[in-house]
Structure 1
């Protein structure tokens, strides 16, 4: 087991609960968990350890929302996401931790600004709330989502901005996100394993924290039923901005 102080275990426990909640109620909310893991563990170790816990949360997200996924959206994103994953793997292997964090922070802030600007322009143009999107939008967000999720498990906020930009309803948002990250997280395992990031100590630590992810997932399911679309959008944007500022500064 990795030797950690009591406060560090408390931080990781809170992060594990947050992961569960983010998977079943607040996509993008895992940015808090990313910050906590990065504060306690070395950057690469935190990425690997968190990935396995995210996969536990994926199981509950799929159980709850698997029928609400919009598969045309997933297929449209797939080529760009693969390109982003490959770029992220190369960047993770070559860049230092400080550069990685700042790069992701800048990307998230730019995506938030573009998303809010695009939504305001649509509202002024025709006031239509139907989901929108095109090849350029899906390629941009897909590439950045693949890149950030490979580098720091931070793809959640990027993809949340995509789903908000296309005005995806809450249930479809959650269902499509559930399948997206369940697939992507499985794909990431051999990449990180190839870098030697899954030693026995990490696996044992995750075994201790996994039950807290389950608790968070169950809490998230209860919370999600009470969220309306406007409140949901605002919470996701606020969490994304907070996470981006943390990574940047």
Structure 2
């Protein structure tokens, strides 16, 4: 188990951000791995966070267990599984920095376009998945699995397909919670095969678990107090911020 005080100085805010993301403020958790990477290697940071994410998934799925879209999951999860497999197979050949830069730029352009569209004309709310194009859902599911495995950045591709559907707030959060809970379990075999889930990693994650659970419940409490009509605007703004962070990390990685 890690005992470095600096590690916990960055791990505590990282876990809190993850909890808020799992509670409903989708996307901001992408900052967690880079924060931990200030104290340990990115590989070790990702390994420590995976058990924490799985526990947080339990909380978020339970909180929104009655509001999720079965059709979306049936469409996107099989593609995500393929994407995770491609990520494992191509990890040695694909630059994490390049993936981060590409995902970041796409997320920024998409979110800004949607914010402009919502400002120019009121978008009618649509319930369910009929407004989406199935082929695009499969493509985004594939990209979500791939980027989640390669760069722990699966949120933006998922949101690019799901956000324009204008699901009710709780259904959007519940669907995201169930989707990423399954995706995180899909990633476990790869981490085990690479020998990253060691007793020391699990012990370190265990120390942070009480904070992880508390911060996730705090996220659930806070997101339910955001007015429903303003929820999507908040998520689009967060997506711009997340995209900017990914793009910055990608450029930094490519130049270093």
| Aligned CA distance change for structure 1 residues 102 and 57 (closer, same or farther; 3 Å) | same
| Aligned CA distance change for structure 1 residues 248 and 31 (closer, same or farther; 3 Å) | same
What's the offset of the Cα at 1:154?
1.9
1:76-115 matches, within 5 Å, as: 76-95=75-94, 99-114=95-110
1:143-162 matches, within 5 Å, as: 143-162=142-161
- State the superposition RMSD in angstroms: 2.4
Further displaced range: 40-49 or 224-233: 224-233
How many residues align? The count is 245
Indicate conservation of the 8 Å contact 1:105/1:246, yes or no. Answer: no
| Aligned CA distance change for structure 1 residues 145 and 3 (closer, same or farther; 3 Å) | same
- Aligned partner of 1:41 in structure 2 is 40
- C-alpha distance after superposition, 1:14-47 (max 9, x if no partner): 1112211211121212112132123322111112
| Aligned CA distance change for structure 1 residues 239 and 119 (closer, same or farther; 3 Å) | closer
**3-state SS in 1 of match to 2:37:** helix
- Aligned partner of 1:128 in structure 2 is 124
What's the offset of the Cα at 1:170?
0.8
What's the offset of the Cα at 1:198?
1.1
What's the offset of the Cα at 1:124?
7.3
What's the offset of the Cα at 1:126?
8.9
Indicate conservation of the 8 Å contact 1:16/1:209, yes or no. Answer: yes
TM-score when normalising by structure 2 = 0.86
Distance in 2, Cα, partners of 1:126 & 1:241:
20
Distance in 2, Cα, partners of 1:246 & 1:117:
18
- Aligned partner of 2:167 in structure 1 is 168
TM-score when normalising by structure 1 = 0.88
| Aligned CA distance change for structure 1 residues 210 and 127 (closer, same or farther; 3 Å) | closer
Indicate conservation of the 8 Å contact 1:21/1:216, yes or no. Answer: yes
Query: Are 2:208 and 1:243 aligned?
Result: no
Further displaced range: 202-211 or 227-236: 227-236
What's the offset of the Cα at 1:3?
4.7
Indicate conservation of the 8 Å contact 2:22/2:219, yes or no. Answer: yes
Indicate conservation of the 8 Å contact 2:114/2:236, yes or no. Answer: no
1:1-249 matches, within 5 Å, as: 1-4=1-4, 6-95=5-94, 99-114=95-110, 116-117=112-113, 127-131=123-127, 132-249=131-248
Distance in 2, Cα, partners of 1:167 & 1:205:
39
Further displaced range: 73-82 or 86-95: 86-95
